[in-house]
Structure 1
Amino acid sequence: MNISFNTLLQKENFTKDDIVRLLKASGEQEKALFKRSHEVKLEHIGNKVYFRGLVEFSNICKKDCLYCGIRATNKEVNRYDIANDQILKAAKFAHEHKYGSIVLQAGERSDPAFVSRISQLLRDIKKISNNELGITISLGEQSAETYQKWFDAGAHRYLLRIESSNAELYNKIHPNNEEHSHATRLKCLQSLQDIGYQTGTGVMIGLPFQTYDDLANDLLFMKKFDIDMVGMGPFIEHDQTPLYQYKDQLMSLNERFRLTLRMIAVLRIMMKDINIAAATALQAIDPLGREKALKIGANIIMPNITPTQERANYLLYQNKPCIDEGADDCTNCMEARINMADGEIGYGQWGDSLHYKSRH
């Protein structure tokens, strides 16, 4: 017998069927879900929102993921690689504006020159910020040895999106070769956790071929893996990618947006003390997208502090917001947005995952 929706919301552990039911909520049920996730958030992590100044420092990538605008074989992209002094200038900006943390993100590379460059950058960022800036990196699949080097150099959080916990679906959105392997992705996540990173992952919501069962399994995967932080957002198609051919089979952008919010809400109820980012892609669909995510469960926001002239070239998807704003504009805008979502900014704080602390 089906229990009532409100009884379901009070359960301690959800089954896959429970999650599918929650993800399909609409109208009053969706409101009840969001109310519950908001309560869980306030009770377990409070209303603090933490900044992660995002530096997308290069769009050079060796991978060829079928959904991504900066994939290696896309000849239309203006490739760039921001000089170290510019990256350090952005880090300095974050430190002076009491962001607490920065995120270094780029296309994927693992050549020795790149690996040692990142190690040096991490040490330099620690130095110029008197060790006060927290550092998250999101630089794809690497060897355990590389992850260890970067950890020793000062990075303490790592985001590696699984993209889908379903290996079959993963293979449909990546080329069929050794460079793109679901097993490797899982192994990398395990290495990160073993080394001691606060380990983050995430999925794209509304992909072609994706089902509600897939999404429910994604959330169960995150819980089973005991993840510390999650960044997940709506899939937004890019017309210079192979997956674009399926655009007519996709849910509407608004449906993808609502479903992403429900994913965030359900995950917050399932994993009460992890960090959840309000993805920039939400704002590409709804001008108040990130605030809505903060309201119902997210607690991390990533103002883009990449030097403005390069922002337009880091397009994983189309209609990306804020590509023409300077870092100052971004900060002022974020403050206003967080206030609108009844949040309080955790200035100068790392905002580490409480879940990570309880795991250790």
Structure 2
Amino acid sequence: MHKSFLFKKNKQLTENNLIEKALSGIKFSKEEIAFLLLEANPEWVYEIANEIKKRVKGNVVYLRAIIEFSNYCRNNCLYCGIRRDNRELKRYRMKEEEILEIAEKISKQGFKTIVLQSGEDPFWDAKRLSRLIKEIKNLGVVVTLSVGEMDYEDYKVLKEAGADRFLLKHETIDKRLFSWLKPDTNLTKRVRCLNWLKQLGYETGTGCIVGLPGQRIETLVEDLLFLQEISPEMVGHGPFIPHPQTPLAFFPSGNPWLTLKLIALTRMILPKANIPATTALNVLAPDLRFKAFLAGANVLMPDLTPDQYKLHYEIYPGKGSYRINLEEYFRFFEKENLRTDLKPV
């Protein structure tokens, strides 16, 4: 679509009517989303998204503590460092009692949500996971799962065990690109899983990777339209970061500023969603680690996996060694008049 047409079509857009449209629940058109992504001044878009966040979500930043309990994965995704064919990776699988010990420590630190994340590890089937979930729920916390694609009945078992939320990124809405990058599955199955999760009553999260090899910027417009249509409760976007032990090792990284704009537009089209400032964005562009919270993000997800395991959950370079400095964030939040949901201990 020609840029001059986009501008002509959307030159009437103002900060006030964009905010009003977002708050009213009226869907954005493809032309409006394209204009905002491709042409609109980024700082203007950030300001609008931040205002929408303040009005809908208030001044609270939600903290979600992550435990990466296994880096085994049956899949061979081209971009992922824990892919099945990475023979240089030291594999680990935490024991149930280890996970419970860490979860108890996390809950005592005041975190209200624990995210259990892993590769698609067949050892951790629905039966084992449900037993673990039941024990963690006894700590009085919300349990979020990020363990990949499963059958409907497995998702049902986990929900009945007490799982509250499920993160399953769609990665890209481009079917051909998805199939190339993720040869063990397809986009139809991924979307079906997302629909199952919503049907079962999970707070469902998804999101895309920005700057994937072969990804067109116009595809990101389609990603946003897809998100607007399925209306997930959580959306996390991160930039592509090439891993040296993958087939995509020599491709360039994704654009962190474009990722930030996608976060802001997600806040505009889904004002009620919880949107994290993703670790990938912080690793690739540490100077932007606070910027996302002024552009629509309202969730921070510190990784509290023990170092002896965390170092080997390297889905992209820098992931395993990166630690969020909470004190640094708390100072920033105080400066911006933001508070967290971390319970006093």
Stretches of structure 2 lacking an aligned partner (at least 5 in a row)? 1-7, 22-26
User: Moved runs in structure 1, 4+ residues, more than 4 A?
Assistant: none
1:335 aligns with 2:342: no
**Conservation of the 8 A alpha-carbon contact between 2:235 and 2:274:** yes
In 2, distance between residues paired with 1:9 and 1:286? Answer: 31
- The 1:32/1:335 distance shift into structure 2, 3 A limit, reads same
> Identity over aligned residues, as a percent?
35
Question: What is the deviation of 1:321?
Answer: 6.6
Letter matched to residue 38 of structure 1: N
The alignment yields a C-alpha RMSD, in angstroms, of 2.0
Alignment of 1:64-143 (within 5 A): 64-110=76-122, 114-127=125-138, 129=139, 132-143=140-151
In 1, distance between residues paired with 2:106 and 2:11? Answer: 47
In 2, distance between residues paired with 1:283 and 1:342? Answer: 21
Aligned to 1:7: 14
Aligned to 1:197: 202
- The 1:82/1:191 distance shift into structure 2, 3 A limit, reads same
Letter matched to residue 317 of structure 1: Y
1:224 aligns with 2:223: no
Secondary structure of 1:145's aligned partner: helix
1:291 aligns with 2:299: no
- The 1:70/1:341 distance shift into structure 2, 3 A limit, reads farther
Secondary structure of 2:79's aligned partner: coil
Alignment of 1:1-360 (within 5 A): 1-4=8-11, 6-7=13-14, 10-11=17-18, 12=21, 13-25=27-39, 29-110=41-122, 114-127=125-138, 129=139, 132-175=140-183, 179-245=184-250, 247=251, 250=252, 256-320=255-319, 322-323=321-322, 330-348=325-343
**Conservation of the 8 A alpha-carbon contact between 2:194 and 2:204:** yes
Question: What is the deviation of 1:137?
Answer: 0.4
Deviations 1:16-59 (A, max 9, x none): 23222222347xx2111111111000011111011110001110
Deviates more, 1:288-297 or 1:147-156: 288-297
Deviations 1:282-308 (A, max 9, x none): 111222433211121111111111011
In 1, distance between residues paired with 2:288 and 2:103? Answer: 26
Aligned to 1:352: none
Secondary structure of 1:2's aligned partner: helix
Question: What is the deviation of 1:331?
Answer: 4.1
In 2, distance between residues paired with 1:219 and 1:243? Answer: 25
In 2, distance between residues paired with 1:23 and 1:321? Answer: 31
Deviates more, 1:46-55 or 1:5-14: 5-14
Deviations 1:90-130 (A, max 9, x none): 2112211111101000010345x632221111011112x1x
If the length of structure 1 is used for normalisation, what is the TM-score? Answer: 0.86
Secondary structure of 1:276's aligned partner: coil
Secondary structure of 1:147's aligned partner: helix
Question: What is the deviation of 1:10?
Answer: 2.8
- The 1:174/1:336 distance shift into structure 2, 3 A limit, reads same
Question: What is the deviation of 1:220?
Answer: 0.8
**Conservation of the 8 A alpha-carbon contact between 1:322 and 1:330:** no
Question: What is the deviation of 1:337?
Answer: 4.5
Secondary structure of 1:158's aligned partner: strand
Deviations 1:252-304 (A, max 9, x none): 65xx1000110010110111111111100111122243321112111111111
**Conservation of the 8 A alpha-carbon contact between 1:9 and 1:33:** no
Deviates more, 1:46-55 or 1:330-339: 330-339
Secondary structure of 1:242's aligned partner: coil
**Conservation of the 8 A alpha-carbon contact between 2:47 and 2:294:** no
Letter matched to residue 207 of structure 2: G
Question: What is the deviation of 1:138?
Answer: 0.4
In 2, distance between residues paired with 1:240 and 1:9? Answer: 48
**Conservation of the 8 A alpha-carbon contact between 1:291 and 1:340:** no
Deviations 1:160-185 (A, max 9, x none): 0011112112112122xxx3121111
In 2, distance between residues paired with 1:291 and 1:321? Answer: 20
**Conservation of the 8 A alpha-carbon contact between 1:16 and 1:213:** no
In 2, distance between residues paired with 1:43 and 1:8? Answer: 14
Letter matched to residue 171 of structure 1: S
Aligned to 2:4: none
Letter matched to residue 150 of structure 1: L
Deviates more, 1:335-344 or 1:218-227: 335-344
If the length of structure 2 is used for normalisation, what is the TM-score? Answer: 0.90
**Conservation of the 8 A alpha-carbon contact between 1:98 and 1:348:** yes
In 2, distance between residues paired with 1:8 and 1:345? Answer: 28
In 2, distance between residues paired with 1:215 and 1:188? Answer: 21
- The 1:211/1:219 distance shift into structure 2, 3 A limit, reads same
Aligned residues: 330
